[in-house]
Amino acid sequence: MLTRELIVETAMQLADADGIDKMSMRRLATELDCGVMSLYHYVADKDALIEALVDQVASEVAPPAADTPWREAAQELAAATLAAQLNHPWVISIWSMTWPGPHRFALIERLLEALAQADLPADIADLGFHALTNHIQGFAQQRLAFGQLEAQADETAGRVAAIMGSDEFPRVIDHIAFHQHDETDRDEFRFTLDLILDGLERHAS
């Protein structure tokens, strides 16, 4: 029996396995052993399906307990959102472009709640909200790009070698070296997060 839940679940599997580009209505239909058009009885659109998929990812983020101090709550939310996105890499490039579903709205609400408890002027809290979500988004995207490059190792190796071999971009060469003996993998996310949170705290009234 076909259900919306089954469709979303199968679509998630396809997207996780092969990326969002390969999650086509037609592949989905063959996977579910039904005609393509049958799907359209449970889902208005491919876009609607994708919205459901994105909110499913959001539902994997466990919001911090209500009594968590604001700064820890923000850190936990940021880390958990990043982790969920990296668990479903295909979501990264569409996350901010899709209208939030109920689960994502709950996360947004929780982050705004944390900021409200920080005793910031109201506009600083609103600006801080975007500073934090933009950081999560920007960082996730950078990590995704990095991952893609590593996946196409052969092509990348040649291109990196070309840069390292030229003397046009010496600072870039140093920066690449930094990435190559990179042990600070986890800290990079926290570093900027703390820059932002420190800066916000300094605006506290």
Partner DNA sequence: ACCTGAACACCGTTCAAGT
Closest contact distance (angstroms) between CB of 14 and a copy of itself is 21
38 binds DNA (CB under 7 A): yes
Closest contact distance (angstroms) between CB of 84 and a copy of itself is 17
Closest contact distance (angstroms) between CB of 140 and a copy of itself is 9
Nearest to 118 by CA among 70, 79, 86, 56: 70
Among positions 29, 32, 79, 149, the unique one binding a copy of itself when judged by CB under 8 A: 149
Choose among DNA, a copy of itself, none what residue 8 binds, the Cβ cut-off being 5 to 8 Å by kind: none
Q: Residues in contact with a copy of itself, total (CB under 8 A)?
A: 53
Closest contact distance (angstroms) between CB of 21 and DNA is 9
x/- letters, 45..64, toward DNA (CB under 7 A): xxx-----------------
Binding site for a copy of itself (CB under 8 A): 93, 96-97, 99, 105-106, 108-109, 112-113, 116, 122-123, 126-127, 129-131, 133-139, 141-142, 144-145, 148-149, 156, 159, 163, 168-172, 174-175, 178-179, 184, 188, 191-192, 194-196, 198-200
